[in-house]
Each structure stands twice: as C-alpha cells, then as structure tokens.
Amino acid sequence: MIDKIINTKHKIYYHILFWLVYVGVYTLMYGGYEDKYWEEFQQLIFLLPWKIIPTYITLYFLMPKYLYQKKTTHFIGWSLVLGLAMAVINRYMSWAYLYHWFNPEKEHWKVPLLYFPKVLNSLVGVYSPVFVAMAIKLQLFHYQKDKITKALEQEKVATELKFLKAQIHPHFLFNTLNSIYSLSLSESKKAPQAILGLSKFLDYMLYECNDRFISISREWEQLMNLINLERLRYDDKLSVSVSNSIDNNESLIPPLLLLPFVENAFKHGADNEIDDSWININISLDNDQLELMVENSKVPSQTMEALDSDKNIGLKNVQRRLDLFFPEKYYLKILEEDDSFLVKLNLDLSTVTQLNKLEDV
C-alpha cells in the first residue's frame, strides 16, 4: 500500500513537471517575438485545460483501449473526433476572450469562429503536448513490456533447468541401485562400499545440487564416486583410464553437467559382447576453458542411434542444459568409429563466473 502511494506521488510529480516544462518552453518560444513573456504565459495557462483534457483522455483511455489492443483504425478515428472537438473549444476561447483581452486593436474576432486555417492551427496547438506525452508513454510501455518479457523468459529458463535436473536425479539413482543390486545378487563384499558411494551421491544430489553452480572439484569428486561404483560392479571385466588437469579447483560449473557423459560411457562401453571393454576419461581446465573427452568401446553392431534413444534421459538433458547455460559458448561432438564412441565437450566457464558475480550483486 505504501509503495503504491509513493509511486502515485512520483507520477504526480512527473506530470506536474511535464506541464511546467511545456508552459516554460512555449512561453520562451512565443513570448520572445515581442518580449511579451508575461502575456504569453497568461494565454498558455488560460488555454491549458483544452490541452490537458485530450492528453489524459488519450493516455488513459484511447491508448489502452485501442492502441495497445492494435485497434489502430478506432484509435485514429476517436483521436480525430477528440482533437477536432478540443480544437474548436480552444479556438472559441481564443476568439471570444483572448483576442479581446490581449490584442483588441487587431480585431482578430472579426474572422469567423470556424475559419478552417484557424481551427487547424488550434488543432496543432492542442495536440502538440498530446504527441509528446504519447511518445513518452509508448517508450515506457515498450520498456515495461520488454522488462516483463525478459523476466518471464528468465523464469521459464529457471523452471526448465529445475525440471531437467529433477529428471537427472532419479536417472542416476536408478542406475546406481542397479549396480548395487548386481553386487547383492553375487553376495559381493563390495556391496557395502557401493552403498556408501550411493549415500554420497544422495547427499550430493539432495543438498549440494540445489545450488545453481558448484566448484568443479566437487563435480570431479562425484565423477570419481560414479567411476568407483561402476568399477565395483564390473571388476576386471572393464578397463577404466582416468586423467585430469585442472588449474583452478574453484572454477564454477552447473551441478551434474559432466556425470551423464561418463554414466553413458559405462552404459554402452561395458558390454558382455565385448572381449576387452574399456573407457577413457580425460578432463582438463585451463584459464576457464574446459575440455572433457570420454571414449568407450562398443559392439560393432551398436550405432549412433543408441545414444539418442528415449531411454537416454541423462544425455538428452545435459545437452539441453548446455543450450540454456552456455548458448553458443560450448562445443559438443559425438564421434563414432567401428569399435568406439568418442564424446568431446568444450566449455567456456568464464561466462558462468560472470553470471555468478551478477547474481551476487
């Protein structure tokens, strides 16, 4: 309520300022012809109501009802009716009063009231402040509309990111539980380690992933947690090579952004039909430029379409998140050979750092 009162007061001040500027400018312009500033000021004040009335009818009735609704013909039609009515009244007030008060010797009242050039001159005089006020109003209208559109777009993106991340959580949980289930079937002593690893995953997903960005060291830690879980599951059936070169462990990255690529490599690289299954994972970060390369073995019959199936929620989601977080700032390539898949991702993390600073302001 207080904010509305304050905003209303501000609007009143702006409107008063507008008319003060209008009167001041026209007093200086026309009063300077014969140095009759006081007389010009009095005439402007006397005729001011016939300029104020069409201005506010246009701003608060005709524009919202017709112009904003793109009913241009109606707006022009009613504006002409209003303008002509005010012009005639303005002409009458000058003809009946001002000519007698200020310039009786010139006998301007002898010219007919509805003399067209005089009515047209009155129309221009009446609508000069209306056009200026309309221009200001339209600028403010488009500014507010653009502001609202951007806010809605940001809200839409934020909602979509939350939805995508919410889909990833159960996706990882499902696959990890599958791994633990496989270990429990064989009564493996590694099952407790797998459960511990899962608890770390749950802690990471339920608490840390609520932040929009996390340090790359935490993402890498959970990446290794996933790799260790999968190693427990496949044991010697799968060869995994991991290397990293990170120059700044505090660099920020969206959570769960890299894990789906690695999880997908295990899903397609660890296949019973392959004699020597293998996965190579390499991550490097140099001056905010991140590169992730994940390569895995595959059966010769497996095709690229397998990566794009509806069941691969993780990979599809991460690509969509890349589009939202790094528009035109990332490079993702999936290469297929006869016996391998290679995923290469390049990211410019400097944009994340800048975005995070703006959000903290």
**What pLDDT score was predicted for residue 280?**
92
- Predicted confidence at residue 6, as pLDDT, reads 42
pLDDT band at 302 (very low <50, low <70, confident <90, very high): low
Instruction: Tell me if 187 sits within 8 A of 205, measured CB to CB.
Output: no
Summarize pLDDT for 94-118 with one digit per residue, the tens: 888 888 888 777 777 778 888 888 8
Query: pLDDT at position 158, please?
Result: 57
Torsion of CA 147, 149, 151, 154, to 10 degrees: -140
Mean pLDDT of the chain: 78
| Integer Cα distance of 236 and 225 in angstroms | 18
Residue 274 to residue 125: CA distance in whole angstroms? 88
Convert 77-133 into a string of H (helix), E (strand) and C (coil): HHHHHHHHHHHHHHHHHHHHHHHHHHCHHHCHHHCCCCCHHHHHHHHHHHHHHHHHH
Q: Of 135-139, 151-155, 265-269, which has the strongest mean pLDDT?
A: 135-139
- The count of other CB atoms within 10 Å of the CB of residue 323 is 14
Structure tokens at 133: 């006020």
Kind plus residue range of the DSSP H or E element containing 300: none
CA contacts within 13 A on the Cβ side of 286 = 6
Element (DSSP H or E) covering residue 316: helix 313-325
Q: What is the pLDDT of residues 192-212, one digit of tens each?
A: 877 887 787 777 766 766 677
Rg of the chain taking only CA atoms, in angstroms: 36
Average of pLDDT values for 230-247? 82
- pLDDT exceeds cutoff 90 at 292: yes
Q: Residue range 296-309: average pLDDT? A: 62
Whether residue 119 is predicted with pLDDT greater than 90 in this model: the reply is no
- What pLDDT, on a 0 to 100 scale, did the predictor assign at position 233? 72
Among 167-176, 177-186, 271-280, the range scoring the smallest mean pLDDT is 167-176
List of domains in the chain: 2-148 (no CATH), 211-360 (3.30.565.10)
The lowest-confidence range among 50-54, 168-172, 259-263, 273-277 is 168-172
Kindly tell me if the per-residue pLDDT of 310 is higher than 50: no
More confident: 17 or 304 = 17
pLDDT of 271 reads 60
